[in-house]
Structure 1
């Protein structure tokens, strides 16, 4: 497992990008639960964020691709609107402990 960030660096209803071993990832916390995905839209293979660490739509309830506006469920990465509807983000196994958030690549 590789260290991603501390728990305090990812408050509830927020997102955070990062890179581990050349692999671009992002994490989202919702309802205290952390979800980590590969930072790659299934539509065009581009990064999702508008600006650094900005992966969520204005309501902070869905992940949004900055390029074509596709919307994804935070809980499982399923695309529910946009050009890649029916596809999904690639989930990255993660865990959280007292030190922070860890990912398995």
Structure 2
């Protein structure tokens, strides 16, 4: 498991990007739960964010690809709108403990 950050560094209803061992990933916190994904849109294989750590749509309820606007469910990574509808982000096994957020690559 690779350490990402302290729990307090991922605010409620927010997202953060990380580059660990040359792999880009993102973590989103929603309803107190952290979700871990590869930062790679299934449509073109490119990173998702608008700006550093900006992965969510205006309502902070969906992950949005900055390039073509595809929208993904935070809880499952499934694309529900856009050019890759029906495909999904690649989920990563992760956990949160008293030290912070950890991911398995």
Q: TM-score, normalization: structure 1?
A: 0.99
2 CA distance for matches of 1:48 and 1:74? Answer: 13
The CA deviation at 1:5 is: 1.0
Aligned partner of 2:44 in structure 1 is: 44
- The corresponding residue for 1:16 is 16
Task: Give the count of matched residue pairs.
Answer: 105
Tell me what 1:83 maps to: 83
In structure 1, stretches of 5+ residues that fail to align are none
Shift of residue 11 of structure 1? 1.0
Instruction: Give the deviation of 1:92 after TM superposition.
Output: 0.6
Matched with 2:4 is 4
Looking at structure 2, the residues matched to 81 and 5 of structure 1 have their Cα atoms a distance apart, in angstroms, of 31
How far the C-alpha of 1:29 sits from its partner, in A, is 0.2
Find out whether 1:70 has 2:78 as its counterpart.
no
Residue 89 (structure 1) shift: 0.0
Unaligned runs of 5+ in 2: none
C-alpha RMSD over aligned residues: 0.4
Large movers: runs of 4+ above 4 Å: none
How far, CA to CA, are the matches of 2:5 and 2:36 in structure 1? 12
